[in-house]
Amino acid sequence: MRRRIGAATIAKLRRLATAAAADPLAERYHRTAPQRLTQLVVCDLSTPTGKGHHGWNAYVALRELLVARGVVLAPITLHTGVSSQAAGEPPYAERFVVPPATAVLVDAARRDGRRVVAVGTTVVRALESTADERGRSHPGHGWTDLVVTPERGVRGVDGLLTGWHEPESSHLAMLEAIAGRPLLDASYEQAVAERYRWHEFGDSHLILP
């Protein structure tokens, strides 16, 4: 039996969603979807690389499909840069905003045993930068220079939708932190065997360990 988010959390979320800077679609998600939450997807509503894998129309259609199936989409704001260096250098710092409504959704999802899936590596950096040591999400904004590695691990993210990154990419450390080495190796072996298209505007890679 699926557990539901409590009425108090829903009421708090609605108050925060009213004040949050979100587009009409996101506001509607906050108003209706939490009562039937199955998993939470956190995404930047305007990130170019995240939508480049599918195109804008397909992206909007996918959002509607996910919501219809009980998946909540929570927005954050990102100012993406060259975050994955080809030569293995650490990613550049990037600006972000995690609004209060999104922090509430992330906490509610994790408390109820739901998965929090980030759309894009920059979303991971933003959520991990605002999560405390217990994994609780907090609203926040600013610049993050966080480098997510297997040694550090992740606290606020359970899955990731991203592209296929080059062997020298610093993002592979982040992917290993989320997926674990065996799953990551198996995924890339399959990608090579099937001739998947590589980052930046290639095929997508959904990691759900």
Q: What pLDDT is attached to residue 38?
A: 45
CB atoms within 10 A of CB 177: 20
Averaged pLDDT for residues 176-203: 87
Is the per-residue pLDDT at 125 higher than 90? yes
Q: What pLDDT is attached to residue 32?
A: 42
- The verdict on pTM exceeding 0.85 is no
Ordered by start, the domain boundaries in the chain are 7-207
Tokens of 102: 């999104």
User: Tens digit of pLDDT for each residue in 46-69?
Assistant: 444 444 444 556 667 777 887 788
Q: What pLDDT is attached to residue 11?
A: 53
Is the per-residue pLDDT at 195 higher than 90? no
Q: Helices 171-179 and 121-130: crossing angle, nearest 10°?
A: 70
CA distances from 143 to 78, 94, 126, 139 (A): 10, 5, 9, 13
Q: What pLDDT is attached to residue 181?
A: 93
| 7-207 to CATH, choices 3.40.50.150, 3.60.21.10, 3.20.20.140, 3.40.1780.10 | 3.40.1780.10
The contacts of residue 81 (CB under 8 Å, 6+ apart) are 91, 92, 93, 94
Tokens of 72: 């909540």
User: Is the separation of the CB atoms in 195 and 147 below 8 Å?
Assistant: no
CA distances from 203 to 60, 156, 209 (A): 17, 25, 19
User: Is the separation of the CB atoms in 205 and 187 below 8 Å?
Assistant: yes
Averaged pLDDT for residues 167-192: 90
User: Tens digit of pLDDT for each residue in 64-122?
Assistant: 887 788 888 888 888 766 555 556 677 788 899 999 999 999 998 888 888 899 988 88
Question: From CA 90, how far away is CA 188, in angstroms rounded?
Answer: 21
User: Tens digit of pLDDT for each residue in 160-169?
Assistant: 988 888 777 7
User: Is the separation of the CB atoms in 151 and 195 below 8 Å?
Assistant: no
Q: How many contiguous H segments (helices) and E segments (strands) does the chain have?
A: 8, 7
